[in-house]
Chains A and B, each alone.
Chain A
Amino acid sequence: MPALTAAIANLKGGVGKSTTTVMLADGLAHYYGMNVLVIDLDPQANSSQMLLTEQGVQAASDQGKGVHHVLTHFMAGKPPSAAPFIMPNAVTLEELRRAEEQDAREGWISSLPAHPQLRLLELNLEEEWYSRSGTPTTLSESLGKFFREAFEPLQSLYDVILLDCPPHLSPLARAGLSLADVFVTPTIADSVSTWGTKQFSDWVGKFIAPDLAKRNFVVITRFRDTKYARSVASDLREIYLKDRWFGPTIPESVHVLNAMERAAPDSYDTFRGKYAGVTGDVRRLAERFTDFMTQRTGVTWAKVRH
């Protein structure tokens, strides 16, 4: 069964794309024993940092791991390849680490991390491409083809591939979006995020996925329980993004922000320790997304942990 590729994306910044990516990766690996690959296409490298730490992101880059190395291959005209650039262990959960230690792997997270260098490389690539009369569209198409071929051998190794996308439409970001089977859209219950989400939704619908409504999973994040936020959340569900799948509403949590900062590359925490007050929300996120996956692929998943 090939992996389901999900792009976690929105043109609005600050809506919790990276946090949602990590929550999904943790939830799917922990509760359903899925083998998850997180590909970070955002040069801000936030989800990479959350999974590997800053030191880990730098160490990965020094070892030749990361999306920017895949891009270097593309620029050098080398054959498409991604597997050698993956960090095979980006697990922060004690339960997964312990199971692996006991040769009973039930759920795992690997990372194809980003690095701030990625943006500079993208700029160099764009400059070179446009100097040869290429256009942003031909570049994103060419990158999309390269990535599709590079990721092909990974399809049988993972259950789900999460693409953490940047809040813009660079050729690399567009290439990433073109690979997605489904689109996870984190948003915040306020008017500017609603408007940004509409822009993103309309763009993806027009250029990539005309059947977006069926392939879209929306998560309202950083929810502050006010009358205004409840009203916007309700309008998102019932009017603006009607007929989409909605995950649970994830509350604003200082604990989560802190938990997303991994202490060190060899630091682990239990699922409950990491997510504390939002443990139930992350569990529901994994459950609801798994239902969504089942509806898309026909494959059912049983929980391996409760």
Chain B
Amino acid sequence: MGEGKALTPVEYLDRFFDELRDEVRSNPKLAERLVKALGGEVVFDDDAKAEIANPFALATGSKAKFLSVFSSMKAGDIRKILKENNLATRIDMAGKSTDQLVEMMYNRAAMKVQERKSVF
């Protein structure tokens, strides 16, 4: 595993952070978790938001913020999020417009949060 060359502590750290930076660039979910762990607010980039936007987390805030994140997404991405988060089946989604899908996502995610979030 080693390359046979001793590195200084700073060089080791540089390598570590380079690896971390590369991973964060290519892995938006890890990037989101790291930013949250550091107490920062995640800004949803258009390309990445379909992959990282969490309907339950967003349903704890205002409906306007929820809609601002999901309404601009493609119908395919919304369907994928609904399915992956167990918020709708194919039958539930059939024949619905993008707006109806987003509305359904908000209502169901908000209901789940109410069912699962401790009030204390």
Contact = CB atoms under 8 A, between A and B. Distances in A.
Chain A interface, DSSP helix/strand/loop, else mixed: helix
B113 A239 contact: yes
Interface string A138-150: 0000000000000
Interface in B36-69: 36, 54, 56-57, 60
B86 to A, nearest CB: 8
Contacts of A13: none
Interface string A190-205: 0100110110011011
Contacts of A252: none
B57 A239 contact: yes
A238 B36 contact: yes
A195 B116 contact: yes
A156 B119 CA distance: 35
Contacts of A194: 116
Interface stretch (A42-50, A169-177, A206-214): A206-214
Contacts of A198: 115-118
Contacts of B33: 234
A241 interface: yes
A240 interface: yes
B16 interface: no
A258 B115 CA distance: 35
Interface string A259-293: 00000000000000000000000000000000000
A226 to B, nearest CB: 12
Interface of B: 33, 36, 54, 56-57, 60, 85-86, 113, 115-120
19 contacts: A191-B86, A194-B116, A195-B115, A197-B118, A198-B115, A198-B118, A202-B120, A205-B118, A231-B85, A234-B33, A234-B54, A235-B54, A235-B56, A235-B57, A238-B36, A238-B57, A239-B56, A239-B57, A239-B116
